[in-house]
Amino acid sequence: MMIGRIIKIMPHISPYKNFQLLLKPKWLKSCKSISSCTDDFRTVFIDYGDVHEKSIINAKIKRKTKCCQQGPVLSLHTQFDNMCLQIHQKFHGRKSYLHDQKSLHCSHSSPVLLPSGTVMTLSPLPIANVLSSVPCVGHIQQNRGIWDIFKKANFGSYTVLDRVGEVSTAQQVPAHITCPLYAQTGDPPLSPSSPEVKADWQVQAMRDSCYLARSVLNIVGENIQVGITTEDIDKLVHNKIIENGAYPSPLNYLGFPKSVCTSVNNVACHGIPDDRQLVDGDIISVDVTVFYNGYHGDCCETYIVGNVDKAGQRLVEAARQCRDATIEICAPGVPFTAIGAKVQEVADQLGVTVVPCFIGHGIGEYFHGPPDIYHCYNTYPGCMEAGMTFTVEPIIAQGKEDVLILEDGWTAVMLDNGRAAQFEHTVLITEDGYEILTDYY
């Protein structure tokens, strides 16, 4: 399960019906737009300081924009987790307001103009204080008009998910299962302030939890078929994890209501299992994480359901290649930035798009922690060291990178309705390279 590196706010307009697209907001009133679009360079930068003025110059010269620019060495995960918890707790009680603005700059997504020239936001007062501690990150936007949202691209033949289905209550966890601290409260504990170098006994614990995660995901793959619901997948995953004396990590993490993430077709990630049946031609990403003997193991796979068109098959294979080729460069001394550069390189070669607003993460006794693993060009500091464990999990899309968060506060869908695919491994850095802890067997 990945973490959202960028907190988004979307205007109240969409091709999706009955959704208030105003979740996980980022208040950008204090930020200044210091560049506008041109015919051949369609980006808008948000200025947090001189370092980002330099990014603009480099981007214009090299034609490669530096997504996810980060400043001082400071992990966002602790602040992000605490912030998201408060956002989820306060979400249903907040009022919405109209502000007289002509556009709204969204992190890693498009400014969207409303016909009235206004945008709707939520009251920023409770959240602004939380966001004040978040480290500086530079964001890149594409500057497009409102009608670009409705342009129909030929991404193939498949069903577009435009609404959330019926979600049942969460599965019960027996009393004898050892649970993470957030299982009751939804509030994750503090993660390390810097990437953790694990001792041998911790590495072995990671191997055990990751082996279980892969085992459960293998069982899911064996049962994926037309007619099964994502709720059925949730029950299967939950029961298998419990049978092995483990806890399903997503359950109640920041309030997530289910034991697994199931993301179908145009859902990029964090899909909540519901009563929708899989149909012939679907693709589905299943993200399994377990908490076993005090450690988390995390992996994800995108499966083909029945007869998927060639465009869908190409996307799934491209997503797998982006992950696998990137893991191959991992070794002690390799900068974390190399991961994003490699994913972007492979994606460009294959003609697909990286969705940059979700990242991989360090993992261990904590579900999400440093290092932040970007899948786009970035300047995140630091290098890999033997004993570090983290996830590599790029989301790859057919069309543009823009993502909407639906009204459930979790489901992330592609704005252009294109499909997305994701593959994930938990990786250990060893003395002479890497070990895939969630490898196939």
To the nearest 10 degrees (0 to 180), the angle between helices 230-243 and 200-223 is 140
The pLDDT score that the predictor gives to residue 152 is: 53
Domain 183-436 of CATH type 3.90.1560.10: no
DSSP lists the bridge partners of residue 262 as 286
Give the number of other CB atoms < 10 A from CB of residue 301.
25
pLDDT of residue 142: 33
pLDDT tens-place string over residues 61-72: 333 333 343 333
pLDDT at res. 4: 63
CA-to-CA separations, 75 to 24, 70, 136, 368, in angstroms, rounded: 19, 10, 11, 10
Report the greatest alpha carbon distance in the chain.
62
**Which residues sit in the known binding site for a divalent metal cation?**
287, 298, 361, 393, 424
Low-confidence ranges of the chain (pLDDT < 50): 6-149
- What's the confidence (pLDDT) of residue 154? 81
The predicted structure's pLDDT at residue 248: 98
The CA distance from 323 to 302, in Å, is 12
Nearest to 213 by CA among 284, 286, 287, 290: 290
Confidence at residue 423, expressed as pLDDT on a 0 to 100 scale? 98
Model confidence over 214-256: pLDDT tens digits?
A: 999 999 999 999 999 999 999 999 999 999 999 999 999 999 9
Residue given tokens 């105003």 in the structure block: 22
pLDDT at 441: 81
As annotated, the binding site for substrate includes 270, 368
Q: How far apart are CA 45 and CA 140, in angstroms?
A: 5
What pLDDT score does 1 carry?
76
Sheet of 140-141, strand order: 32-33, 44-47, 140-141
Give strand pairing partners of 216.
Answer: none
Residue spans in the chain of domains classed CATH 3.90.230.10: 183-436
**Binding-site sequence positions:** 270, 287, 298, 361, 368, 393, 424
The Cα–Cα gap between 18 and 336 comes to 40
pLDDT at 49: 32
Q: What are phi and psi of 182, to 5 degrees?
A: -85, -5
